[in-house]
Structure 1
């Protein structure tokens, strides 16, 4: 499924002050430390996210002056607004806190804990080495590559000298307009920081070109090398370091270094929470609790087995649709992404529209479930749930809705049922679901035979894949949104991340049973056997073309997990009527988009055929959420209403209140 691709902008406006550059004091070049009146607003947070940092900046350190006249009012410290005494005290405290962070990191390793990174590092070096080999085996080619890089640097240097002399010049290169790392005015106003930014961008684009222009590499190796290069260049951005980021310099001066003390405390806290591994907080985890202010739609757990609990939600209308709905969430994440706060809850909205909603809540598995495979999730998950839905409602058939990998499981289950003559699923909805994985995006860089063998060796030792491994992989897909802004905010600005429900869910990871995860990676990402008709479930060959029930297939336009073209290709494999709809935004916000907010848009009714691009050209754009469109589609197939059903239909004794205990189990 997903890790979050829609994140708040963690750049918060810091107190501004004027700091002269020691290089050009008194001349036209200054460190661009912009006074408050000249500040521009931070880049608006994408999607529905609030700003991810607390609005109040850290208080100045001991002895600092609110008016900026630090210390005794003498010397350079006073002219810059820096309280030297407080700064010195805070530096000493930072060193002390740093020793605690080091202890938190080393402590578990004295107890035989290892980082377990040898396989990943070896694979990365092997991949990048193939690119380097292409350039270094031909001296002329290598010289030309170096010349291009040096030419870029010289151009930046020449422009910088001109700016220092008071000339106005066009930049050699500029960041993308959506790149929030360089939104601060200091990156433009100061020739020094502008040169640093441009030199970084020249280096980044040169490195990307080295990968793109390397010949003789297979597509997977080139894709993986490009991904690795992007991770490295994102990590070394000057925006990530105190001494090369004008905003962080202002933050440090204005608080007399207390931000660094607070940042080191945050680092220690996160290392302790990760048992020696850095567990970067993206939100205030104390602000939310499942069942208290998340996943609060009233309902009951009416059935459970080793793999799942089945939740039925209480009707809020006098009558309901005769056709019940069974939701199959991904097991890679927890189901309450569809039941966040009340105003964002898709499940609550469905119930309020008069639909009898049942949801599978997958267990967070441990070593005891190591042998549970894809077919077990089909039989003990979807099929067991269908049995109970039929008893609770009196309806032999149900509509099934699958989200991401839950949708992939649902699609293969439909193919299995078609092959075995089982028609209990009358129709289906797929939310950002891939069936064909040919164009599965950047997640494919993590899957090849060598990497899979390494993963399977680790899973054999534990019986499962730790949830943090998948979380890290998803975060790396958008490291400039999901990793580095929080490194800067938490450890350099020393601020606490803002409470945000979606990021709380994102951090609430789950484990994957060894057998199930291996089947999924091999038959989807590695071999694409499900789409090719070569996969089997419980001894039955899976043929997706045999699925002929009506289908509503939703993709999202900015999806990094299930790209819209990939979803489109999979939907076109099915033989029944398919309504393909494209929502604005990404894998999460494009799906969890309540109509009341009137955010984003969706496209529908493009020309049928195999071409996604042609479909998009002819599709009609509609403002707002796709939810009402789905309801109209569903109602057109199932217009009949019946009196509201009691939970369990008189046949089940509720086990516990929703959301149940399975979803509360932490990894």
Structure 2
């Protein structure tokens, strides 16, 4: 392919003609685009942005500040004007010297602007620097707003940052040198491929724009991910119960069950053999059961937290006890399933049920007094929008939750993938973690609102009590031996909030482990990787800050330390158990059938 005339950076005539031919292919794709948008499904608009009241309150507060302290506001504006005019003057001076080069750029590095042209080319350099000046001015203006309560201030910061990130010059073809260079190099084919990717994503999601992060054709459940051998030994309307094959001749008498979050699917704990927590646990000599939740649709609209407890937790515990012939089991709850495990433990205490011997919590919030980065999504206008949405649909669609989580890291999880896919025309990578991330689950209407209103907004479990199944459940009633693992940079379940919940539990035997990294990588951290370390401190009477300051840091995975804790609570060793029994014949091979159901759009 001839891309340029010899000895010149100017595209050849042939090159330009081929590019025109490629661009003509856009017409067919445009027709597909029009068609998919004409049949687009809708969602409640309140889920797209905050109510106008937030911005009105911010504007009122900013105006009040300007009247009370005009010098401060004028100082900010003059500083912004000065930076802008100076920036323009420097660019003009560089051009006046007769050299087509950008002025020196000593500013901080930003990986969005990695292309050398952002620093060397006057056009791109001017755009970049002015964008950064504008971004700083907006942040400073938001920071200066004082007459707002703390939650409103957090929301204002969040949404203003979203606006700034959305308007980055990298997000537009005409101001993205990587995309423009790729278009010239490929004679426009990258733009055609990018539009194909865009239309395909819209068609896959009924007109909703959900950026595809991974090559979905690269993975098969039970084929190259979720491959640990096991059998489905029980199934009801809420879940499949998987018992995994033993990998040791002897196992501990007390079995272990994992309750994964039903917002996502359980195989995050069984992606590849080398990082599979499921495989590792069985290799340590445990009889392991894992719950695989149903992916609900509109028929599950009236399913509530009580159904997840009765037909999920209690059903699993009952069947495990029957299969293994024991009276007590150890349990793990991950994220929302950990929150619910705490509810279950309170309910068991009130009922006098001692079926759970010990409990482990993975990144589980039980005290929602502080809402951290989720503050923007737990205000009434957003929750009201969700309530209207689920009343109409019968369930909360998975993509709405996925989009909410993604915008907490919008540059990494929205804009950068969109640039690569839609502007550069690249095929998404074959990355197992991102495949799992895109394979979400819906939430039933009733359950979603119980969780958002009662637990998240009103924090009833940690305060006056959460009404469920005729009981008022309280965090202080969680009194079994417990181990909580939280993640240092978790933006979904902040570790200090997890710690505060553990402090309020009534158990005398409490262990808290703080691992490095985030919500997923901090948990899926096998010893073989020798990657993220963890903190240990037995004194849980301290504040979170003092606890970490006084903690001992240990290199490597937390898994062995937790397993040593679990081993002490798992009884004697017995002959390994094969999955099921005469009353529980295998219904399917792991990973089961429920896990393959895709979320409704």
With the shorter chain as reference, the TM-score category is over 0.9
Task: Specify which of 28, 31, 45 is matched with residue 118 of structure 1.
Answer: 45
Give aligned pairs, total.
Answer: 591
CA gap 1:242/1:106 in 2 versus in 1, 3 angstroms: closer
Q: What is the deviation of 1:108?
A: 4.5
Distance 2:202 2:32 in 1: 6
State the match for 1:93 in structure 2: 22
Alignment map for 1:232-631 (pairs within 5 Å): 232-576=163-507, 577-605=509-537, 607-631=539-563
Structure 1 contact 300–312 (Cα < 8 Å) conserved: yes
Give the Å deviation of 1:510. 0.8
1:132 aligned onto 2:59? yes
Contact 1:301 1:660 in 2 (8 A): yes
Contact 1:362 1:663 in 2 (8 A): yes
Q: Distance in 2 between matches of 1:632 and 1:609?
A: 23
**Root mean square deviation, CA, Å:** 2.2
Matched, 1:632 2:564: yes
Contact 2:44/2:385 (8 A) holds in 1: no
Residue 135 of structure 2 is aligned to residue 204 of structure 1:
yes
> Separation in 1 of the partners of 2:163 and 2:25?
30
Which is worse superposed, 538-547 or 631-640?
631-640
SS at 1:438 equivalent: coil
**Per-residue deviation, 1:173:** 3.9
User: For 2:254 and 2:355, how far apart are their aligned partners in 1?
Assistant: 11
SS in structure 2 of the partner of residue 621 of structure 1 = strand
Return the offset for 1:587: 0.6
Deviates more, 1:493-502 or 1:222-231: 222-231
Q: Distance in 1 between matches of 2:19 and 2:386?
A: 44
Distance across 2 between alignment mates of 1:122 and 1:570: 30
CA displacement at 1:248 relative to structure 2: 2.6
Distance 1:81 1:623 in 2: 55
Provide closer, same or farther for how the CA distance between residues 427 and 564 of structure 1 changes in structure 2, counting only shifts above 3 A. Answer: same
Distance in 2 of aligned mates of 1:158 and 1:446: 43
Give the gaps of 5 or more residues in structure 2.
none
1:105 CA drift (Å): 4.0
Pairwise CA distance, 1:109 = 5.0
Q: Distance in 1 between matches of 2:4 and 2:322?
A: 75
8 A Cα contact 2:366 2:501, kept in partner: yes
Range that drifts further, 370-379 or 438-447:
438-447
1:69 pairs with 2:8: no
Q: With the length of structure 1 as denominator, give the TM-score of the two structures.
A: 0.84
The Cα shift of 1:172 comes to 6.6
How far does the alpha carbon of each residue in 1:362-403 deviate from its partner, in whole angstroms, 9 at most, with x for none? 000111111111111111111110000101111111111011
Q: Would the aligned equivalents of 1:106 and 1:276 in 2 still touch at CA under 8 Å? A: no
TM-score by length of 2: 0.93
Q: Distance in 2 between matches of 1:610 and 1:87?
A: 68
Q: Is the 8 A contact 2:242 2:591 kept in 1?
A: yes
Q: Is the 8 A contact 1:436 1:530 kept in 2?
A: yes
Of 539-548 and 158-167, deviating more is 158-167
Q: Whole-Å Cα distance in 2 between the matches of residues 435 and 105 of structure 1?
A: 44
Contact persistence 1:173–1:201 (CA under 8 A): no
Distance change (3 Å), C-alpha of 1:370 and 1:126: same
SS of 2:275's equivalent? coil
Tell me: CA distance 1:540–1:105, structure 2 relative to 1, closer, same or farther (3 Å). farther
Residue 503 (structure 1) shift = 0.4
Extract unaligned runs of 5+ from structure 1.
1-63
1:79-119 CA-partner distances (Å, limit 9, x unpaired): 2152443334434533542x4444444324545x4533532
1:198, CA displacement in angstroms?
2.2
Moved more, 193-202 or 585-594: 193-202
Could you tell which deviates more after superposition, 476-485 or 538-547? 538-547
Question: Is the contact made by 1:310 and 1:359 (CA closer than 8 Å) also made in structure 2?
Answer: yes
Question: Counterpart of 1:343 in 2: which secondary structure?
Answer: helix
Rounded to whole Å, the distance in 2 between the matches of 1:493 and 1:395 is 58
Distance 1:272 1:572, change over 3 A: same
Aligned equivalents of 2:85 and 2:91: distance in 1?
A: 10
Deviation string 1:164-202 (CA, Å, 9 cap, x unpaired) is: 658997747424xxx421233332334543332222122
| Superposed CA offset, 1:558-604 (max 9, x none) | 11101111111111111222211111111111111111111121111
Contact 2:331 2:360 in 1 (8 A): yes
